[in-house]
Amino acid sequence: MASVESPVVRRGRVCSAGRLNLCGCRQKRGVTLEQIAETTKISMRFLRAIEDEEFEKLPGGIFSTSYLRQYASEIGFDESELLSHYNEVMYPSSSPDSLTAGEPPRSLLGRWLGFATPMQRP
């Protein structure tokens, strides 16, 4: 018998199988993706990636953080909740204790620099 995961309530927002209902929140506010794109100057492909929680399609680093904050603000969603969810999805094994203060995770740095592992110094 297959089990169906029931929705989980997280800080008043309904999440289905760990997903946020960003599209539903946006629609409830009566805002279109086009309006958000016009206001924030974020491209439609990045806005779709945010709504579909396909965070790996975002450019990374400070750009992703900024896009998520702007999107959350436009739809009336809690910015810290969205950023927390983003970090859980993108860095599931990273804990705050495992990162050096002020230093981005190596995978993010590698992604930003365009290679998978940091270059070795001679």
| Partner residues linked to 1 by β-bridges | none
pLDDT of residue 47: 96
Average pLDDT over residues 56-75: 93
pLDDT of residue 2: 42
Is the pLDDT confidence value at 91 over 90? Answer: no
90 against 119, higher pLDDT: 90
Pairwise CA distance, residues 24 & 28, whole Å: 6
**pTM score:** 0.63
C-beta of residue 110 within 8 angstroms of C-beta of residue 117: yes
pLDDT of residue 61: 87
Helix, strand, coil percentages for the chain (3-state, nearest 5): 55, 5, 40
Domain range list for the chain: 31-92
Average pLDDT over residues 65-71: 96
- Helix runs in the chain, H state only: 22-29, 33-40, 44-51, 61-75, 79-90, 106-113
First to last CA, the chain: 57
CA dihedral (51, 55, 60, 66) positive or negative: positive
Pairwise CA distance, residues 114 & 80, whole Å: 28
Average pLDDT over residues 50-70: 93
CB atoms inside a 10 Å sphere around CB 75: 20
Pairwise CA distance, residues 34 & 4, whole Å: 34
113 against 71, higher pLDDT: 71
Average pLDDT over residues 84-106: 67
Is the pLDDT confidence value at 65 over 80? Answer: yes
- What is the pLDDT of the chain when averaged over all its residues? 75
